[in-house]
Structure 1
Amino acid sequence: MTRSRQEDRETMAEVELPNPHELEEIKEKAFTRKVAVVTAIFAVVLAIASLGGTYNMKEMLMAQQQASNQWAYYQAKVIREHLYRSQKMLLETLLLDRGASMKAEARGRVEGMIKTMGEEEKRYNLEKK
């Protein structure tokens, strides 16, 4: 069952060796595949990071809006407190200036308004805290 050298040569002649250009193309295709896989991985990582960044940006904007609303609420309370304080002071000045010449009914109304303005001023002072 030994083969002759002639048969061995014929068998070897049948084996086809790859062309060097084909080997280069195969190497280039393998490199291209690796680059494509790495690019896809980067794309996925960047997409996940982008989603996280978008979520955090929305949270930051909501927190900023809430802080702005809280500041506006505080300012509204301060403005109303000052409004009631200035009205109370105006009525007290009116009472001091014309109190002796005012009718008892008008004087009572002004004193009641002064009391109401003072209570409202205290209420707004407590609410803003």
Structure 2
Amino acid sequence: MAFKDLVEAIDSDKTGRDRLIAVYIGVLAVLLAVCGVGGGNAMKDATARNIEAANIWAFFQAKNIRRHELRLQIAEFEVMLASRPDMPPAARTLVDEKLKKYRADEARLTSEPDTGEGVEELKVRAKSLETQRDRAMVKDPFFDYGQALLQIAIVLASVAIITGGTVLLLLSGLLAGLGTLSTLNGFLLFFAGSF
């Protein structure tokens, strides 16, 4: 069907045409609402993951500082043992016990697979949360574009009812299609680039 035939077919029945446009506008309004919810959720997800990642990094930093303090204490005791070979046996035993305890604590702070709270595990968790945050942030603009395109499509379709402008209606359809694709991309992220 040629473009001219399509325009003539749309213009032939004014009442039926207006009803179809009204239904079309209703469908666009539903798509716009879905797009708005998706965009809101994307930003909420990005914010939540960012807060969670910041909390994990703070916990990581606190554990890492404690681990560093233990490493300094271990080094100090090792220097003490090396510089005082004549240390009394009782004192040497005490220092050796402390060294053993501090090394065990340092190892536990470095990696604690049982609880997932060693600095190595915390780093992995924080990076995972940052990846989730980044993905949500990539999704958000597609919802913004989708909302804008769907809103413009609704306006053009509304004007097409009043003016009888078929070209406006076709332009509305084109923008609605682009808005719908942008919204779908916001949910599915099959294309991660930007417009």
Give the TM bin, normalised by the shorter chain.
0.5 to 0.7
Q: Is 1:53 aligned to residue 30 of structure 2?
A: no
- Give the one of 39, 44, 57 matched to 1:71: 57
The answer for the alignment partner of 1:124 in structure 2 is: 109
SS in 2 for 1:74: helix
Deviation at 1:104, TM superposition (A): 2.2
Counterparts of 1:124 and 1:99, CA distance in 2? 30
Root mean square deviation, CA, Å: 2.9
Deviation at 1:66, TM superposition (A): 1.8
Counterparts of 2:81 and 2:57, CA distance in 1? 36
Q: Unaligned stretches of 5+ in structure 1? A: 1-36
Deviation at 1:103, TM superposition (A): 2.5
Counterparts of 2:27 and 2:109, CA distance in 1? 58
Which amino acid in structure 1 is aligned with residue 68 of structure 2?
A: H
Q: Is 1:98 aligned to residue 84 of structure 2?
A: yes
Check whether the contact 1:85–1:121 (CA below 8 A) recurs between aligned residues. Answer: yes
What TM-score do the two structures reach when normalised by structure 1?
0.56
What TM-score do the two structures reach when normalised by structure 2?
0.40
Q: Which has the larger radius of gyration?
A: 1
Deviates more, 1:59-68 or 1:49-58: 49-58
1:68-96 CA deviation, whole Å, 9 max, x = no partner?
A: 22222333332222221111110111122
Corresponding pairs, count? 97
Q: Is 1:84 aligned to residue 70 of structure 2?
A: yes
Which one scores higher on RCO, CA 8 angstroms, separation ≥ 6? Answer: 2
Deviation at 1:40, TM superposition (A): 8.5
Q: Is 1:108 aligned to residue 93 of structure 2?
A: yes
Runs of 4+, deviation exceeding 6 Å:
37-44
Check whether the contact 1:99–1:107 (CA below 8 A) recurs between aligned residues. Answer: no
1:6-36 CA deviation, whole Å, 9 max, x = no partner?
A: xxxxxxxxxxxxxxxxxxxxxxxxxxxxxxx
Cα distance, 1:46–1:119 mapped onto 2, change above 3 Å = same
Deviation at 1:45, TM superposition (A): 5.6
Q: How does 1:10-49 map to 2 (within 5 A)?
A: 46-49=32-35
Which amino acid in structure 1 is aligned with residue 102 of structure 2?
A: M
Which amino acid in structure 1 is aligned with residue 63 of structure 2?
A: K
Counterparts of 1:46 and 1:99, CA distance in 2? 79
